[in-house]
A and B are shown apart, each in its own frame.
Chain A
Amino acid sequence: MERVTRYLPAVPVLLAYLLLFAFGLLVPGKWQLVSQIAFFCALGQAFNLFMGMTGYVDFGYVAFLGVGTYGMALPISMLADKGLGAGTIVIGLVLSVVMAVLLSLAVGAVALRLRGAYFAIATIGVNEGFRYLIEGARIWRGSEGIIFSSQLRATLGREAAMSLSTFWADVMVFGVAVLAAMLTLIYLRGKVGYALAAVRMDEDAAKVMGVNVTRYKIIAFISSAALAGLLGATAWALKLTYVYPADVFAIHYTIEAIIIVLLGGAGTLLGPIVGGLIYGLSKYFLAVHLPGFQLIIFAPIIIAIIVLFPEGTVGMIRRRLAGGPLEKYIV
């Protein structure tokens, strides 16, 4: 019984994604908006897996999405004449995860030795560094990028390639979001969650109590990076069918991830969904009604939410529901 109760918070999460998905399918002309929001939710959910659980901010996070995008672009552009069909996409998904994990091991080996603000400073520039490495050393065609729409058509056929880019890639983004959310819940309810909660509250006391701090940080870091790789492969590579280093290593995606997590509530399960919704919707409506003024209006909204609800929206809701029958559903 307690086993079941522990995983009840999955219900509102799955329900929220299902509703968002159904809204996009059933309301004409809203699929683009919904897919944008799904991207923000997935981004927040994946980012939260590390930032929310450890309290560490990785400013270079977008680099994992970037290499993930290349992980999908490379096999599609190179294997088009091999007749592998959908197998190429599977290879791309696996490769995007592998590349993101390898990069996270390299970054983590250095940066995870540092604490708090020093970690954040060390990760600033990972994305820019990687971008200039690709451009300067002309790796993967350097700054020209890789345009692989024709290879994608050759691999899957015109129809399938079209529906992959306009619909199925977005469905996969939903999949990444759900996967990230479920992993978050499993971690939260398992030893990883308790270890990292202890580390967040008092790292030295955690060590003395037998928590292998580095190990659990690395677990969260790698998982978060792997999901970012998948997100790059689906939301960027498959949807856009091209990749330019200047686009996929842009730091503003990291900033967006931080904003989404803070809006919703760091370390909560529902937070990235709420944050992704608030951020996606306000960005959309501000872009439509007050183009050019998004940032000026958005900044005070963010400041207000962070001042009013320092634990994020979900943190505030959870506090309100404490002791009530709904509490066990909200994490």
Chain B
Amino acid sequence: MSLLRIEKVTKRFGGLVAVDGVTLEVAHGEMMAIVGPNGAGKTTLFNLINGVFFADEGRIWFKDVDVTRYPAYRRAHLGIGRTFQIPRPFGHATVRENIAIGAMFGAAGRELTVGRSMEMADHYIRLIGLEAHRDKPAAVLTSVEKKLLEIARALAMKPRLLLMDEAMAGMNPKDVDQMVAFIKRIRNEEGIAIVALVEHIMRAVAGLAERVLVMHQGAKLVDEPTKVALSDPRVIEVYLGRPPGEVHAQG
């Protein structure tokens, strides 16, 4: 039984087909990446999976529940967590409160009091190593710290599936390696499936994912184990660029 099942999902914005009949399955505890150039429809696909948008066509199942018409908050209750490309912490709230909000309203939120959520937040603060910033407003964190907070907040929701949108964009190689190690660790410790969106950091894809879905112009191009996918000639052409020699000088 797969955790997430997407069948022929399509989303249009006016005349633009942002996601074009994509079919995808994600197994429990799997770690995969969705890659593709800017505008390939990756983020729209994410928004369809977690309910920010509704699909125009196709169906989505999560834990065998048809969630196609579920609003975002109900999908969160079922166990879909999400981080944003540009971190969106609740800036006036403290680091601790930000994470506690995730716990309070996430998959286990119903049974949690505010006090208990705060205690849980402390666990995730230790996990991301932000103890020193616990009671500071999230707005003062550095951009890497905000990314970590974004992940901690999503983990506190106790998701079964974590959608990570460009968790490593804008990071230097050292930070990317650290982040890859961190994501692997939480995957193993929490036993959750992770789908990461990556635009152009191949270092992250290769280090992180067991499987890669390559998107191009809204459609699925390749869905294969990482090594196979990244050496597929179609992927190299549309995604990594044409082979040397065919590239014309751009001026």
* A residues in contact (CB < 8 Å) with B: 2-3, 189-191, 194-195, 197-198, 201-202, 204-213
A210/B105 in contact, CB under 8 A: yes
- The residue of chain A having its C-beta at the shortest distance from the C-beta of B115 within the complex is A2
Q: Which of B92, B97, B101, B115 contacts A209 (CB 8 A)?
A: B101
Q: Is the CB of A190 within 8 A of B114?
A: yes
Category for how many chain B residues contact A: 20 to 34
Q: Does B41 belong to the interface (CB within 8 Å)?
A: no
Task: Judge whether B82 and A201 touch: CB under 8 Å.
Answer: no
22 A/B residue pairs, CB under 8 Å, sorted by A: A189-B114, A190-B114, A191-B104, A191-B105, A194-B104, A195-B101, A197-B92, A197-B93, A198-B93, A201-B93, A202-B88, A204-B52, A205-B88, A208-B51, A208-B73, A208-B82, A209-B73, A209-B101, A209-B153, A209-B157, A210-B102, A213-B73
Residues of B within 8 A of A212 (CB): 73, 105
A197 to B76, CA, bound (A): 18
With A204-B52, A210-B109 as given contacts, are A194 and B97 in contact (CB-CB < 8 Å)?
yes
CB neighbours (8 Å) of B52 from chain A are 204, 207-208
Is B241 among interface residues, defined by CB-CB distance under 8 A?
A: no
For residue B102, which residues in chain A have a CB less than 8 angstroms away from its CB? 209-210
CB < 8 Å: which of A2, A3, A189, A209 contacts B105? A209
Beyond A208-B82, A209-B157, A210-B106, is A198–B73 a contact (Cβ under 8 Å)?
no
Most chain A beta carbons < 10 A, residue from B71, B72, B107: B72
In chain A, what residue has the closest Cβ to B139? Answer: A201
Contacting pair A210 B76 (CB below 8 A):
yes
Instruction: Check A194–B114 contact: CB distance below 8 A.
Output: yes
Question: How would residues 89 to 133 of chain B score, 1 for a CB under 8 Å from any chain A CB and 0 otherwise?
Answer: 011110001001110111101000011000000000000000000
Cross-chain contact B153 with A201 (CB below 8 angstroms): no
Query: Shortest Cβ distance from B128 into chain A, in angstroms?
Result: 17
Residues of B within 8 A of A206 (CB): 101, 105
Binding site for A on B (CB under 8 A): 50-52, 71-73, 76-77, 82, 84, 88, 90-93, 97, 100-102, 104-107, 109, 114-115, 153-154, 157
Output the residue of B73, B76, B91, B114 with the most chain A CB within 10 A: B73
Nearest CB in chain B: distance from A211 CB, A: 5
Neighbouring B residues of A189 by C-beta, 8 Å = 114
- Which residues of A lie under 8 Å from residue B82 when comparing CB positions? 208
Indicate if the CB atoms of B104 and A197 lie closer than 8 Å: no
User: Are B100 and A194 within 8 A (Cβ)?
Assistant: yes
With contacts defined as CB atoms under 8 Å apart, how many contacts are there between chain A and chain B in the complex?
A: 74
- Inter-subunit contact B73/A210 (CB<8 Å): yes
- Whether A208 and B72, one on each chain, are in contact in the complex, defined by CB atoms closer than 8 angstroms, is yes
In Å, the complex CA distance between A194 and B121 comes to: 14
Task: Report chain A residues within 8 Å CB of B93.
Answer: 197-198, 201
Q: Give the nearest-CB partner of B79 in chain A.
A: A210
- Measured CA separation A195–B117 after assembly (Å): 13
4 additional contacts, CB 8 Å, given A195-B105, A197-B92, A209-B106?
Answer: A189-B114, A197-B90, A207-B76, A208-B73
Residues on the A chain within 8 Å of B84, using CB? 205, 208
A207/B72 in contact, CB under 8 A: yes
**CA separation between A213 and B52, bound complex, in Å?**
13
The 3 closest A-B pairs by CB, nearest first: A210-B76, A210-B105, A201-B90
CB of B231 to closest CB in A, whole Å: 35
Least CB distance from B73 to A in Å reads 5
